[in-house]
Amino acid sequence: MIRADRSAALPWALLPAAGLAQAVSIATPWSGRPLWWLQVASLALLAWCIAQPIEVKSVLLRTWLFATVWLTGTFWWLFISMHTYGGLPAPLAAVAVLALAAFLGGYYALAMAFWRWRSPAGPLRSIASFAALWLLAELLRGRWFTGFPWGAGGYAHVDGPLAFLAPWIGVYGIGAVAAAIAAALSFLPQAWRSRRYWLAAGVWVLLLAACTQIAPTHDEAAGAPLPVTLLQGNIPQDEKFEGRTGVPLALQWYAEQLTAARTSLVVAPETAIPLLPQQLPEGYLQSLAEHFGRGEQASLIGIPLGSYEQGYTNSVVGLKPGADAYRFDKHHLVPFGEFIPPLFRWFTDLMNIPLGDFNRGSVGQPSFEWQGQRLAPNVCYEDLFGEELAARFVDPRLAPTIFVNVSNIGWFGNTVAIDQHLHISRMRALEFARPVIRATNTGATAIIDHRARVTHSLAPHTRDVLTGEVSGRAGTTPFAWWASRLGLWPLWLLALAPVLGALPRLRRRAGT
């Protein structure tokens, strides 16, 4: 009896550790690097724990525990923005982070409960069903209620052996393949004598190995390398919007660096200029426009735009000789930060953060053309949504040659959020075979080539200037082609296959 009780308690002891390992695999706190093998191993442990002869309710609760710990460990730094900078009492901020993780973890709990309820016959069908339903949960988390897919399992593989799949099936597809591998490992103890199991495993290994040898047809150089300067102001977040400290510091430092730069392109981060144009000192923006209008340089500068009557946008302004100012407006807004969800005004009122409802820009806005390159800006966590960036690839003649991310994640302190966001940008580089340049307030300011290699970078939380060259690329990856036309629907159909397959069973139960 004692041994049986210990056996029943073992999964409940292992699952929190496995969930924490899943969080660490995205970017380790000690080095910032992703660990693909840890992501697979921790997910395999979950699969083993829920494949035991237990009730569906236990599967739901075990998965919920794993997912809640995983997601809390992934974006725990939201606590800093709410408590340290927002002034929310620490207990309430901690409860808010835990509640968000528990809510999002519910997608995985329900998906795995359905997997157990459906109980496909045989390990191979069960593995395929596990991967599809895990993919379904990832897609739901990434799309419903505007989506928050930060820390999706596929990001752990940006340096791993599955990275070659990114330009074909994207980060969600990689996550599904990793889930299939994890499920296969969990079934190994009971299926290792099965010839069909090993035959299927061998076919999968050979197929993946063959795919790695497929010559890329989407990797083409576009124009001459572009010299760039990226600015990292490191304006303290608790002073950034203060009129006596952070605002004058930002206006002075960025104006000096923008005009002192000697490269062809200069990029300043999100809200580098923290005031609306009509709030700026007289002639400030005009002097920058005149500087870049008369030489051989161009700039992209993060700045809020708009008015009380028209609404506000989190924007990027582009200045170059012989052309009107370019404008990009952020499309994918941050819940609670840039728009307030219905019924949650009371929550945002508790925090001392400049919150508001911003207007959304459109999907697929034109690129900023300069020196033979088409530069496609995106603001902060917009680069988390590759399917939206893909909208710019419908017409290959207008497709971006370089992505430009401008960010300010100073809200989250000197935490692993910086490394996590860097790997998100690196995954976009792989999916689209495009370089990504990142200008941020506190990090990670970097130049990433089209193969996701960081070629230049600044130390986080330093005030510094990064110079280097970036080589634009042309061509269209398979992912960019189908995602630009179909969105994520091909993956949705694969993810929904187990649900659609279970409909006859549901009808029979309803009939009885």
Question: What letter would DSSP give residue 85?
Answer: I
Question: Could you give the CA distance from residue 389 to residue 368 in angstroms, rounded to a whole number?
Answer: 15
Catalytic residue among 240, 380, 387, 431: 380
Q: Does the annotation count 330 as an active-site position? A: yes
Q: How many CB atoms lie within 10 A of CB 3?
A: 7
- Report the Cα–Cα distance between both ends of the chain, in Å, rounded: 39
CB neighbour list of residue 129: distance below 8 Å, 6 or more residues apart: 115, 118, 120, 498
Q: Does the annotation count 380 as an active-site position? A: yes
Q: Does the annotation count 240 as an active-site position? A: no
Catalytic residue among 49, 138, 320, 330: 330
Burial of 497 (0-12, 13-18, 19+ CB in 10 A): middle
CB neighbour list of residue 139: distance below 8 Å, 6 or more residues apart: 172, 488, 491, 492, 495
- Nearest CA to 318 out of 373, 359, 356 is that of 373
Strand 311-319: give its sheet, edge to edge: 326-329, 311-319, 298-307, 265-268, 226-232, 464-470
Question: Could you give the CA distance from residue 301 to residue 248 in angstroms, rounded to a whole number?
Answer: 17
Structure tokens at 187: 């079934």
- Nearest CA to 92 out of 78, 104, 106, 103 is that of 78
Question: Could you give the CA distance from residue 256 to residue 250 in angstroms, rounded to a whole number?
Answer: 10
Catalytic residue among 138, 270, 382, 431: 270
Calculate the CA 478 to chain-centre distance. 20
Question: Could you give the CA distance from residue 393 to residue 402 in angstroms, rounded to a whole number?
Answer: 12
Question: Could you give the CA distance from residue 166 to residue 155 in angstroms, rounded to a whole number?
Answer: 10
H or E stretch at 316:
strand 311-319
Long-range pairs of 323-326 with CB within 8 A, sequence gap ≥ 24: 325/289, 326/300, 326/368
Q: Please identify every residue annotated as catalytic.
A: 270, 330, 380
